[in-house]
């Protein structure tokens, strides 16, 4: 029997409230996971159905089981979310009422050592969300040029010791498992910097995971697709868990809000930019103290959301 899929959805009430005012129709849950958010939205809005995407087979099985009670109001598809516009089209949905992204790793992915996401339990250096994909984190750790490895650790992990860590990894090759990798990383970080900022290998593992699943490029393409398929009055909401993801979300929503206006601030816009969305809350939302108490994973979560404006740049106003 498959292991239980236990994942506590973050910012659940806030997400459900956010989709309360959207028009009737379909909401895409681009990161279905255990379908906690999706089922809460379906419960709140009987006039909404959900198209749920995930690239992880375990999540798809868990999400489908959780959504079974909603019958044909819920459809589940194996897909990477940068293809969500094509998935929407192939399901005969025109514009959607909203898109939700709850980024990153689900608790079961992290808790199953054989998936290779964990620096606390030994497993292969894998970190693929879609296990049919060829590239694994071992290709980076054991195969990348030292300079490329250092770049990935610095850019994707915000790791200030990217240089020493990359050199230590290269010297220790081939690394066999996640605990060995965590150990090499730990020894490369000066002792006085190991005491703060959580587990010393956290940033390296995050960077390896992002590289393995091509996360920054996929996120950018997914957000662009979401903005393009959402109807006026519909909403796009994203929960991110670290600054690298949040920077992409913030910049994308800013472009949607300004239409990419290049005019000096404070002066009227003369560059012809057409805003397509309004930001629902500058800075977004974070978890309340009560939620943090119940679910420490929510501590790094930030939710940002936009609402699509009535007039789209690609629509003819006449
Ligand atoms: C944090 S969990 C989502 C949890 C879900 N919101 C819930 O309430 O149960 C993130 C899920 O997104 C999936 N995922 C991450 N990146 C993805 C991508 N680019 N395309 C499709 N699924 C993705 C992961 O496999 C994982 O199941």
Residue 144 has pLDDT above 90, yes or no: yes
**What is the mean pLDDT of the segment spanning 135-157?**
97
Q: Which of 36, 59, 65, 109 to mutate to test the pocket of ligand 1 (most atoms within 8 A of CB)?
A: 59
User: What pLDDT score does 293 carry?
Assistant: 93
Please, which residues have CB within 8 angstroms of residue 50's CB and are 6 or more apart in sequence? 26, 27, 28, 29, 38, 41, 42, 67, 70, 73, 74, 75
**Which range among 58-62, 144-148, 243-247 has the greatest average pLDDT?**
144-148
Average pLDDT of the chain is: 93
**What are the structural domain ranges in the chain?**
12-108+215-308, 134-212
pLDDT of 315 > 60? The answer is: no
**pLDDT at 105 (0 to 100):** 86
Ligand 1 shell residues, CB under 6 Å: 7, 9, 31, 33-37, 53-56, 59, 80-81, 102, 104, 106, 129, 218
Q: Is the dihedral of CA 176, 180, 184, 186 positive or negative?
A: positive
- 3-class DSSP state for residue 135? coil
Instruction: Give the lowest-confidence range in 58-72, 98-112, 129-143.
Output: 98-112
pLDDT of residue 1: 40
User: Which pLDDT does position 87 carry in this prediction?
Assistant: 98
Q: What whole-number distance in Å separates Cα of residue 142 and Cα of residue 81? A: 28
Using one digit for the tens of pLDDT, what is the confidence trace for 74-85? 999 999 999 999
Please tell me the distance between residue 213's alpha carbon and the centre of ligand 1 in angstroms.
12
Q: What is the pLDDT of residue 313?
A: 47
265 pLDDT tier (thresholds 50, 70, 90): confident
Q: How far is the CA of 149 from the centre of ligand 1 (A)?
A: 26
For the CA of 38, the closest atom of ligand 1 is 8
Indicate the top mutation candidate among 11, 13, 32 to test ligand 1's pocket, ranked by most ligand atoms within 8 A of CB. 32
Q: Is it the case that residue 156 has pLDDT exceeding 70?
A: yes
Q: What pLDDT does 130 receive?
A: 93
Q: What is the pLDDT of residue 311?
A: 67
> How far away, in angstroms, is 80 Cα from ligand 1 center?
9
Of the chain, the end-to-end C-alpha distance in Å amounts to 59
* The two three-digit tokens of residue 287, written as one number: 């978890």
Q: Cα(254) to centroid of ligand 1, in Å?
A: 24
Residue 264 has pLDDT above 60, yes or no: yes
Calculate mean pLDDT across residues 159-175.
97
- How distant, in Å, are the alpha carbons of 115, 155, 262, 306 from that of 65? 22, 38, 48, 30
Q: Give the pLDDT of residue 128.
A: 96
For residue 267, pLDDT over 70 is answered with: yes
Residue nearest atom 14 of ligand 1, based on CA coordinates: 31
Contact in structure between 112 and 237 (CB atoms under 8 Å): no
Give the model's pLDDT for residue 318: 44
Superfamily of domain 12-108+215-308: Vaccinia Virus protein VP39 (3.40.50.150)
Q: Please say whether the beta carbons of 7 and 102 come within 8 A.
A: no
The CATH H-level superfamily of 134-212 is Putative methyltransferase TM0872, insert domain (1.10.150.170)
Residue 134 CB-half CA count within 13 A:
0
Question: Tens digit of pLDDT for each residue in 201-257?
Answer: 999 999 999 999 999 999 999 999 999 999 999 999 999 999 999 999 999 999 999
């Amino acid at each position: 029997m498959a292991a239980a899929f236990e994942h506590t959805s973050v910012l659940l009430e806030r997400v459900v409230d956010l989709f309360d005012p959207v028009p009737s129709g379909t909401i895409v849950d681009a990161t279905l996971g255990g379908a906690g958010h999706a089922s809460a939205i379906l419960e709140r809005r009987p006039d909404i159905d959900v198209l749920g995407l995930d690239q992880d087979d375990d999540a798809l099985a868990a999400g489908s089981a959780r959504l079974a009670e909603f019958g044909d109001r819920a459809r589940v598809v194996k897909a990477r979310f940068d293809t969500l516009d094509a998935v929407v089209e192939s399901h005969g949905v025109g514009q959607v009422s909203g898109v939700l992204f709850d980024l990153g790793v689900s608790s079961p992915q992290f808790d199953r050592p054989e998936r290779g996401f964990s620096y606390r339990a030994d497993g292969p250096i894998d970190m693929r969300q879609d296990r049919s994909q060829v590239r694994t984190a071992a290709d980076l750790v054991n195969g990348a040029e030292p300079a490329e490895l250092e770049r990935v650790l610095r850019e994707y992990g915000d790791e200030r010791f990217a240089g020493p860590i990359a050199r230590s990894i290269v010297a220790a090759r081939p690394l066999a498992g996640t605990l060995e990798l965590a150990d090499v990383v730990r020894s490369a970080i000066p002792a006085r910097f190991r005491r703060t900022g959580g587990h010393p290998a956290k940033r390296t593992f995050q960077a390896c995971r992002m590289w393995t699943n091509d996360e920054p490029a996929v996120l950018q393409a997914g957000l662009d697709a979401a903005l393009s398929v959402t109807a006026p009055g519909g909403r796009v909401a994203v929960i991110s868990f670290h600054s690298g993801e949040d920077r992409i979300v913030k910049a994308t929503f800013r472009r949607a809000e300004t239409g990419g206006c290049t005019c000096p601030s404070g002066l009227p816009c003369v560059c012809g930019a057409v805003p397509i969305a309004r930001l629902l809350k500058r800075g977004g939302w974070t978890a309340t103290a009560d939620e943090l108490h119940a679910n420490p994973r929510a501590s790094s979560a930030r939710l940002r959301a936009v609402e699509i404006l009535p007039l789209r740049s690609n629509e003819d106003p006449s």
